[in-house]
Chain A
């Protein structure tokens, strides 16, 4: 198994796409934290509230959510790229079984997911520091918690991509499915469900679950870090309502739901990939 993981890591590192997609992800994280930090430390706001607002926490979450499409797309190329370039033949000929190859890919791409998460954490931190001109950085615990959940969702998105790719088989098909679903289909679906009075369902859809894992945590931390004067439970609920997060489970619940989607896609991908004819 170790041999196959090493082979997968070599495959990843011997082409450029892993960092090619990491750059936009990291820049998105940086941009969002920059804006959030700059807004929360505006002089006008500070003089109104008497303290700065840790808005950088939720904007970090938004940034992570946007950025996560990149590791997901990268994950989706794990198997489909090999099918496209026909290296899958040699890959299957040099692995003890297709299952072993897929497990090796999952492990190697989880490592890549961690790298994406760390890159976003580092660049997000730079953005947060720069946006606030080096002042009013949120509490270290809160920040590290956000970085941690960022790494977690990046890994999960990468693996969801791997599973989807194994299931779909075609690279274009997998990437388009991913983009269309996250950017369009789920929004439409959520709206339709809302009209059917099924508002409780949308937070459990994949994209919402993945996003809410970071957003819900960021709101909790934001609330914890808010100046005492404006901190109340009612405010927290109002904030959630405002972001249409009223019915979401706690962040770890969303993360679990999202992980379940990644797992189901991975298993489905495995079942399909082991039967697929490589002609």
Chain B
């Protein structure tokens, strides 16, 4: 039987769907007592990974365990782990209450538990309506109610905020935090860092099925760095001069600028002057978390580089209960003075969340 630790361990997980490698050699650990974010762009392999963890998809190689055991050896698994994998898993003609009673019976919990979780997610008024007629957000709530039915120690949620209204999102956020604070485990996926930034303590960031970052969100925040975008007359000469001065972290951007890390603009200007390279423009760029996330995961899709809906990054998650922290987060990031001009290839700068790499 399982060890009751509440720990999720993923080791060397790989899944091949025919020619498609959905997940490649993925490893991470999720500890109890904290909310772990599982991040990656669309198609990165989040859902596939979570389904392998839950025994629904058979890994090509590698292992995933909950409480030290693979899913199929958990005994009565729903008492250990609850999962929200999709908001569509309902018989359209079965009422919410009957849906919950079916699974209450399967996991051997009393029927009153169905009433409790209905109330918890705020669906008690709709309990006798058919799930097929539910809105997306109501389905998400019912999916969450199903996951909580067995009072599990571990919660696994795949994009649970989809379709939830701001109130629902704020509620979910505080629910997950208090759930984790009671010493239990939460693993929640999203394709938007901003969406779960307020909620998670730890993140696993994947792209194209591979781990790009795995650790404390605070450590990632500390990695936030300044870089300077320079538009020199002769990039090669400037790169050479910078290297001679010991500045080696230089990348060229798609629009022909140089992105220089590890030096401020004054020092770069001095070096350029000494080397006799004309500089037509220079901007300091502060990478925030969202940009870091994008840099970690960029390149999967070029199409992801602009957001056709022009929605601000905080929009996916809606205003939190307290409002203030997220406002503070959005403002400095996307209204940096002069920033939009820097990347003329992406006219949607300042609105799309992904255009900053």
A94 contacts B78, C-beta separation under 8 Å: yes
Please report the C-alpha to C-alpha distance between residue A10 and residue B105 in the assembled complex, in whole angstroms: 8
B108 contacts A3, C-beta separation under 8 Å: yes
**Interface range for B:** 35 or more
Q: Interface size of A by Cβ–Cβ distance < 8 Å?
A: 28
B102 contacts A14, C-beta separation under 8 Å: yes
What mask results when residues 45 to 62 of chain B are scored 1 for a CB within 8 Å of chain A, else 0? 001100100111110000
Q: Quick one: which of A76-109 are within 8 Å of B by CB?
A: 81, 85-98
Please report the C-alpha to C-alpha distance between residue A95 and residue B107 in the assembled complex, in whole angstroms: 7
Instruction: Return chain B residues, CB-CB under 8 Å to A85.
Output: 89-92
B56 contacts A92, C-beta separation under 8 Å: yes
Instruction: Return chain A residues, CB-CB under 8 Å to B103.
Output: 7, 90, 94
B141 to nearest A CB, angstroms? 15
Q: Counting CB contacts under 8 A, is B83 at the interface?
A: yes
Instruction: Return chain A residues, CB-CB under 8 Å to B94.
Output: 11, 14-15
B89 contacts A87, C-beta separation under 8 Å: yes
Instruction: Return chain A residues, CB-CB under 8 Å to B91.
Output: 11, 14-15, 81, 85, 87
Q: Counting CB contacts under 8 A, is A278 at the interface?
A: yes
What mask results when residues 61 to 89 of chain A are scored 1 for a CB within 8 Å of chain B, else 0? 00000000000000000000100011111
| A-B contacts at CB below 8 angstroms, number | 88
Please report the C-alpha to C-alpha distance between residue A175 and residue B76 in the assembled complex, in whole angstroms: 32
B98 to nearest A CB, angstroms? 4
Q: Counting CB contacts under 8 A, is A279 at the interface?
A: yes
Instruction: Return chain A residues, CB-CB under 8 Å to B108.
Output: 3
Ranked nearest first, the 7 interchain pairs of A and B with the lowest CB-CB distance are A7-B106, A14-B98, A94-B106, A278-B56, A7-B105, A94-B78, A6-B105
Interface residues of A (CB under 8 A from B): 3-4, 6-7, 10-11, 14-16, 81, 85-98, 275, 277-279
20 pairs of residues in contact across A and B, judged by CB atoms under 8 Å:
A6-B105, A7-B102, A7-B103, A10-B98, A10-B101, A14-B99, A14-B102, A15-B94, A81-B91, A86-B86, A86-B89, A87-B89, A89-B56, A89-B83, A89-B86, A89-B89, A93-B54, A93-B78, A96-B74, A275-B58
